Chain A
Amino acid sequence: MSLRLRTEDLQWREIDREIVALDGRDASYLTVNGSGALLWRMLATSASRDELVRALVETYEVEAATAEADTDAFLRTLSERGLLGP
């Protein structure tokens, strides 16, 4: 299943490998860095959970189980904040 960030009312830009985003729906800001920024960039164009996990494993040389847990936690946060698209 393909996942991607919401496109409506969500503005973001990257500064020095850090993501700064504005959620226009509730005028809230968030910053994402490190592995979160990597996942954010992939989700901007759409990616599956497996692709996200694989990217973490390859980039940060972590165990698959760790990458899966981190990916799920990140996706859960995005989902709770309504930042994932349909």
Chain B
Amino acid sequence: MTSPDPHAAAILSRVEEIVEPVENLTALRQHRLELVAARVWREQGRCVPHELRVAERRSAIVALTAPEVLRRVRAAYDGSLVLMKGPEVAACYPHPSDRAFCDLDFLAGDPVEAYRALVAAGFVEVGDPALYEDVHHLRPLVWPDLPLFIELHKEVNLPDWLAPPPTPELLELTRPSATGVDGLRAPVPAAHAVLLAAHGWAHEPLRRLMDVIDVAVVLDDEERDLAAELARRWNLERLWRITVAAADALLRGSRSGLALRTWARHLPTVRERTVLETHLTRWAGPVCGLPNTRLRALGDGTVIFTGAARPRNGEGWVDAIRRTRLAMLDAFHPQSQHDLIKESRSGR
């Protein structure tokens, strides 16, 4: 593993300040900051809850396992493979154990050939094949008894309203992996940071603080211009700008942008999103993230916005209106609390 650089250390120092007063374990877990909290609290002599100690142990086992599995992958297949996310990001953290992960994501030049080679070497397929027919990676593999999934990606995972960057270009934009495993390559920091930002948006724009920290830790200051250029070239410029602005505001004291003042207000205080913020985010994602085709963005956003009130999953209009009314009543409640209320009402 590489030694921590002052840039990453400064960022984590700010993260520690943010995390230190947060006592809501659910929120910490949602933001993937529970391991940072456990470390900080222990250093301060505070009690670390049992469930965090369990999480630490689980994370340590996975982290110990990763180099072993990576070496086996590299030994089994010598074609074009690029390690993204998980352990590659963790290696950039001053305390790699702060950054948990549960799988190894590779971008492969020829994922099918790589897959065959890994299976021939002893990796075994897991999961229902039907789940992986039309997704961006092949069916996961594991080495027997080692708790890490391997996902071979045909292309990187982006929001479905954006086209992924060309895989051949990504396979070129690489450097030796920060994990230190011989022969393994990873994206250059600028490309990795942009991919991490875009991948985060694929789940939910500015979903959790750890997504933003990942981008900030990976992105060297001297690579900012290159990252902006790559984001422009890949039509990810707007989501990139919003993510970097959020990272700078949260971790470097810059002025908060519109996102942090509206639909991403859950990040600075490490809390759950409210029902209203969740709905705003579903609308704001395409509107804010699409490249300059604003008309289409507004169209998509409108569909999503109005779609929230339409019947879904076979429900009738009466149920849809009831659901919408409940969402409006709970607008300022945490999303998980609202989901519980919904569940308990539907169970009646």
Contact = CB atoms under 8 A, between A and B. Distances in A.
Interface of A: 11-13, 15-16, 18, 20-22, 24, 27-29, 31
B48 interface: yes
Given A11-B67, A15-B56, A22-B64, 11 more contacts: A11-B68, A13-B97, A16-B56, A18-B57, A20-B57, A20-B61, A20-B64, A22-B61, A27-B143, A27-B146, A28-B145
A15 B68 contact: no
A15 B63 CA distance: 12
B56 A24 contact: no
Nearest to B145: A27
Contacts of B144: 27
A65 B38 CA distance: 38
A16 B57 CA distance: 9
Interface string B27-53: 000000000000000100000100001
Interface in B143-157: 143-146
Given A13-B97, A27-B143, A27-B144, A22 B68 contact: yes
B57 A12 contact: no
Contacts of B56: 15-16
B56 to A, nearest CB: 5
The 7 closest A-B pairs by CB, nearest first: A22-B64, A27-B145, A11-B64, A20-B60, A15-B56, A24-B68, A13-B60
Nearest to B147: A29
Contacts of A22: 61, 64-65, 68
B102 to A, nearest CB: 16
Contacts of A24: 68
A31 B68 contact: no
Interface string B136-147: 000000011110
A12 B64 contact: yes
A17 to B, nearest CB: 10
Interface of B: 42, 48, 53, 56-57, 60-61, 63-65, 67-68, 97, 143-146
A29 B61 contact: yes
Contacts of A11: 64, 67-68
Contacts of B57: 15, 18, 20, 31
26 contacts: A11-B64, A12-B64, A13-B60, A13-B63, A13-B64, A13-B97, A15-B56, A15-B57, A15-B97, A16-B42, A16-B48, A16-B53, A16-B56, A18-B57, A20-B57, A20-B60, A20-B61, A22-B64, A22-B65, A27-B143, A27-B144, A27-B146, A28-B145, A29-B61, A29-B64, A31-B57
A16 B60 CA distance: 11
B139 to A, nearest CB: 21
Contacts of A20: 57, 60-61, 64
B150 to A, nearest CB: 15
Contacts of B63: 13
Given A22-B65, A24-B68, A15 B60 contact: yes
A62 B148 CA distance: 42
B75 to A, nearest CB: 13
A47 to B, nearest CB: 23
B29 to A, nearest CB: 18
Contacts of B53: 15-16
A15 B57 CA distance: 7
A20 B147 CA distance: 14
Contacts of B64: 11-13, 20-22, 29
A51 B65 CA distance: 32
Contacts of B145: 27-28
B277 to A, nearest CB: 35
B60 to A, nearest CB: 5
A15 B59 CA distance: 10
